[in-house]
Chain A
Amino acid sequence: MAATERHLRRRRDRSHGSGGPLPRAAKPAPPATPGAIVDLSAVSKLYDGGHLGLDQASLAVTPGEFLFLVGSTGSGKSTIMKLLTKELEPSGGTIRVAGKDIADIRRARVPYYRRNIGVVHQDFKLLPNRTVHDNVAYALQVTGGTRRDIRAKVPDVLRLTGLATKLHNYPDQLSGGEQQRVSVARAFVSHPPLLLADEPTGNLDPETSIGIMQLLYRINRTGTTVMVATHDHVMVDKMRRRVLELAGGRVVRDQPAGRYRDDESTREFAARMRSDAPSFDPRQW
């Protein structure tokens, strides 16, 4: 797809530039896992009420990876997402993103840090009084993007997400799947190196979910690291990507990616997702 290629080209152009897309620490602390884009070491989060959200969790994600976080409600998936966007502060341990300890980021710099992370939520979190186009454009406007920037990038990403015809609709005129696509488009419009999706298909029917997963896969193929928290086992099993399972705030399973063709096109991918093989669990449907 042409749009995908354009994103790839932009990514390449940027990596040749002097500064990387993520803020660099003045004195980078040696990452526990060299080259990891996300690196949690012994991270704990104790909530105010005394609930332990994360308990000494450690994980490392290499750039370009597609990672699933699975686990029941309260296992700590969302806590990891919120820690990564600095909505929450960890009670212990260190979180490094692109080699930089994010505890060092001052409060005033947090917005600039967040611009490097695309976030997709279960409840879409769209601005209800803006059109699809304006919702996506807002992500560029806040970063000081010019009108030309917006004109170049927004239609592109809307085409990528299949929303080109819904440009002027308001969120409440869209289906759940379309709203989630807007949310993905907004998260990806500035081409962040890291995309977090917290239960992106939680509110959607299976067929729509496949569409969203297909979209995330397409984004992942442009080189963006994608982390998806979900409890949709069927989806996870079919994707055959790396799976981290959490339980009670601990990482209880780290299953490396299964066998899949690197060059699988998104259409082939979607076809495979829709097929019954390899595991069909009727309880999920």
Chain B
Amino acid sequence: MRVSFFLREATRALKRNAAPSFAAMATVVVTVLVLGVFIPIVEATTGAADTVRGKVIADVYLKTNATQRDRERVQRLIEGTAKVGSVEFISKERAYAEEKKRDPEVYDVLGSNPLPDTFRVTPERPDDIGDVRNALAPLAPGGERTVADGAIDEVRNREEDTNKILAATSVVKLTIAGLAVLLVIASILLIANTIRLSLYARRRDVEVMKLVGATDWFIRWPFVIEGIIVGALGGIVAVLVLIVMKIAIVDPLAADFALIAAPETMNFGLLIGLLLAASVAVSALGSGLSLRRFLRV
């Protein structure tokens, strides 16, 4: 009796207040659309920033007279160091070939190979690069750097490049995160306000209900159910538009442009599910909470 009564009350209210309900639904549609477009953009941007950050590496140069055993020992040392992601060995021959290709004349003049064996170390997270360097080449009291193993000549992390990359990508990430937070706040305020308006139109009803002895929750349930229906309908419409947009615009483009397809954006199904859940939750909570003001009689 109760549940069906609340459901009937909610649908009756929706029908009788078609205009405000439609306004609330339209708000949900627009908000979900904007979020649905913006979230993948945020992800793509952060993904791109992370790709750039993946280029943060430290070079461990061995002494030119290092033996095969020295090399293996240093490799184990590096691999055993905390926060090290991957290690790539570049032999002096390979380094020479690479450098020669880049600058043939200089290496022609040199004749012999002056380059040492090198380990190219990528940290687990780009921000850990300093720690990895400190572990392999601890700072001595005098401000000099010592090395963790006698066979290591020097550890360098291409300081200038690294700092630039880290700074630039954090700015991009922070900006995007800030924008995302603002957008979410704006959406919630927008939806809450629309719901408030439609409730304001019915504050007399609430007053009468209180007068005949309806409890707060008895009055609130139909409004919450109404919120759920409005949120779900708005969410579904927006998601349908998003799906059409994805199929009609994004997918064909993704075939041609690597940037759209490449960085790991969220699974489309998951994104849609989240948006739907969020629109329902925000609308239901919004109606339930906005009602508080009118319940104080």
Contacts and interface: CB of A to CB of B under 8 A. Distances in A.
Interface of A: 85, 87, 108, 111-115, 119, 125-127, 129, 138-139, 141-144, 146-147, 186
B297 to A, nearest CB: 6
A217 B115 CA distance: 112
Contacts of A108: 215-216
Chain B interface helix/strand/loop/mixed: helix
Chain B interface residue number, banded: 10 to 19
A143 B5 CA distance: 13
Nearest to A87: B297
B1 A142 contact: no
Contacts of B214: 111, 142
Contacts of A119: 211-212
Interface of B: 1-2, 5, 12, 16, 204-205, 207-216, 218, 297
Nearest to A187: B212
A85 B204 CA distance: 17
Count chain B CB atoms within 10 A of each CB in A87, A111, A114, A138 and give the residue with the most: A111
Count chain A CB atoms within 10 A of each CB in B5, B16, B207, B212 and give the residue with the most: B212
Count chain B CB atoms within 10 A of each CB in A113, A125, A146, A147 and give the residue with the most: A125
B16 A115 contact: no
A125 B211 contact: yes
Nearest to A123: B204
A85 B207 CA distance: 13
Given A141-B5, A142-B218, A147-B1, A127 B205 contact: yes
Contact of A142 (B12, B205, B207, B212): B212
Top 3 A-B pairs, shortest CB-CB distance: A115-B213, A142-B214, A114-B213
A139 B210 CA distance: 10
Count chain A CB atoms within 10 A of each CB in B207, B210, B215, B216 and give the residue with the most: B215
12 contacts: A111-B213, A113-B213, A114-B210, A114-B212, A119-B212, A125-B207, A126-B208, A127-B209, A138-B212, A139-B212, A142-B209, A142-B213
